Structure 1
Amino acid sequence: MTKNTCKWILFGFIFLFLGPFLGITPSSATPQREDFPNPEGGSELTERVRYPVSNYILQERYPEIMVLSGDRTKNQIALTFDDGPDPRFTPDVLDVLKEYDVQATFFVTGARAEEYPDLLQRINEEGHIIGNHTYGHPNLVEKADLDVLESEVKRTEDIIAGFVGYRTKLFRAPYGFLYNELVETLGELNYSVVGWTVDSLDWQESEPEVISYNVLSNVHPGAIILMHDGAEWEGDRTNTIKSLHRIIPTLKDQGLEFVTVPELVDIAYQQ
């Protein structure tokens, strides 16, 4: 049993026995394991060790559909967050971004957006851009089914539109895993596929100093930085949140401006 699992079990007991006296119900205080949408394809920790077709190769093949970075002559970069909205970590990520006046791009799963619409709306209301990260976070390469892709994308698109009022044009694949036919189908669905050039590797749950180093030692003008505001039930993004307090001011001091992905790569974010 992990430290994070023990933490949520302890919180569960506290809210179960003290909640009625404090006027707090379990549903409003913390997610319940049985209702929490876990990624269908497995955790980042187990899946990201696989190596499907390189996104760099796919970007060369489909430059009009797939983007990995912006103009390297401009001092702009984009923070992106995957796998939310997650009530355990997304609020704190949003608080940090607000503290430093930074707008980011959030690639959300439909299942979690549906479960936590208030968080989805907060992301939108605070000026961040929302992208499509499928409904249930399956491994699309392993599924190898174009109908599954289309269903996952359209279902999530409808959910996002229902809560924030626009149909996103941005897509990121779970784990970043795609192959030719998947990219072609996404193009037919009028999506821009967003990859990254800087991976924080925060899914490894390293110390904040390590996550910060992974970003700061690899960043460049035009970089799209991959981070996560969501995790599976046993996962923890606390160190991601802590690392932002080092990453954001350091990069600002270096003269880099944080912008959203659509601004960085000059593409539309609405259908």
Structure 2
Amino acid sequence: MSGKAQSADDIIAELAKSPVDDSMKVDKKICSGGKSYPVHLSFDDGPSPTITPRVLDILKKANIKATFFISTESLVKGKPKDINARKELIERMKREGHTIGSHSYAHIEHANSTTTSQQSMMENLKKSFVEMDKLNLPKPLPFRFPYGSGWNVESVPANQKMANFAMNAIKGAGYYPFHWDIDTKDWSKIKRKALPVSALEQICSSKGGVMLMHDVHKWTADNLPVLIESVRQSGHTFVSEPEIRDYSENRASKPLVSLADHLGGPQGCVYVGHLDRAGSKCNTGNNRNTGNTEGVQ
């Protein structure tokens, strides 16, 4: 490519005008000063009986340890053969050295007082705790709030009260919040077309961190090898969940936003979780009504 390199936003705007094959191509971006950073892969919404096995195969071949945030409702609802397959996949995750966390029970907004009562929110969390306990995992465990609702800063006092309540509830049950720094938008047919550039930009701006993907989309499994190669060609290293926490606590210039409590930017920012992006330009309304929530997170 000649001339000035395109930004992720430029790529999105261009591709949105003329849809093309959205398969990813290997690219690389060197951060300012040639710096490289640790990256931890994480996956939400699974396990999927068809997609998660492919993701695990790719990670095994690439020697990468990831975190899988389990939608625990899927462990009790659905066809018996699918429920058994999901539980077997969790056992495989354990054997292969991945970290397993909770993505709650139903995929609700835990800090939305207009759609969820505090009582129903707590019932949802308790159901998740019960199913996670059946997996015999050592605590503490990571917990990722669906949509980031419960972790994000809320502009509505009633919502922030619910967020505080939810945060205290998960901590009391032996969990710690685990957000993301690098959002691949792999669920968005438009925004994922900016990959891998969009992810590489975020790695540089956040100085490494936790990358969010979803192990329920065929596109994600199809393109994961290319993303991995792009990150590595850009000089970065994939690390495990304990390693990214150690980096944040002991080696980073400042702690990663993803591993802090309630430090996310207001909902609707371009890159949710980046403090330097939080400002008046961000939409602080309901997650499901913001411009950048086109699918499931």
Shorter-chain TM-score above 0.5: yes
Conserved? CA contact 2:139–2:174, under 8 Å: no
Bigger Cα displacement from structure 2, 209-218 vs 142-151: 142-151
Shift in Å, 1:207: 8.3
Shift in Å, 1:163: 3.0
Cα distance in 2, alignment partners of residues 155 and 262 from structure 1? 26
Q: Which residue of 1 aligns with 2:189?
A: 205
Cα distance in 1, alignment partners of residues 75 and 189 from structure 2? 23
**Mapping 1:153-168, distance limit 5 Å:** 153-167=125-139
Conserved? CA contact 2:39–2:237, under 8 Å: yes
Cα distance in 1, alignment partners of residues 145 and 220 from structure 2? 20
Picking from 98, 106, 123, the partner of 2:60 is 98
Q: Which residue of 2 aligns with 1:41?
A: none
Q: Which residue of 2 aligns with 1:145?
A: 117
Cα distance in 1, alignment partners of residues 136 and 174 from structure 2? 19
Q: Which residue of 1 aligns with 2:16?
A: none
Picking from 238, 242, 259, the partner of 1:258 is 238
Shift in Å, 1:262: 3.1
Shift in Å, 1:164: 4.5
Higher helix share: 1
Calculate the aligned-residue CA RMSD, in Å: 2.5
Number of aligned residues: 189
Query: Does 1:186 find its partner at 2:186?
Result: no
Cα distance in 1, alignment partners of residues 197 and 37 from structure 2? 19
Picking from 236, 239, 243, the partner of 2:223 is 243
Shift in Å, 1:217: 2.5
Bigger Cα displacement from structure 2, 193-202 vs 173-182: 173-182
Deviation by residue 1:218-243 (Cα, 9 ceiling, x = unmatched): 2133321111112xxxxxx1221222
Shift in Å, 1:96: 1.0
Deviation by residue 1:182-239 (Cα, 9 ceiling, x = unmatched): 2233333342111111110111134865332321222133321111112xxxxxx122
Deviation by residue 1:137-187 (Cα, 9 ceiling, x = unmatched): 222223443443443333323323323443452111111112333223333
Letter in 1 for 2:69: F
Query: Cα 1:184–1:137, aligned 2, differ >3 Å: closer, same or farther?
Result: same
Letter in 2 for 1:224: V
Letter in 1 for 2:210: I
Cα distance in 2, alignment partners of residues 193 and 243 from structure 1? 28
Conserved? CA contact 2:69–2:144, under 8 Å: yes
Deviation by residue 1:57-108 (Cα, 9 ceiling, x = unmatched): xxxxxxxxxxxxxxxx983111110000111211111111111111101111
Picking from 28, 48, 51, the partner of 1:86 is 48
Identity of aligned residues (%): 29
Conserved? CA contact 2:67–2:241, under 8 Å: yes
Conserved? CA contact 1:132–1:153, under 8 Å: no
**Mapping 1:39-54, distance limit 5 Å:** none
Counterpart secondary structure, 2:89: helix
Gapped runs of 5+ residues in structure 2? 1-34, 77-82, 151-162, 249-297
Shift in Å, 1:249: 1.7
The normalised TM-score by structure 1 is 0.62
Cα distance in 2, alignment partners of residues 113 and 93 from structure 1? 19
Bigger Cα displacement from structure 2, 185-194 vs 171-180: 185-194
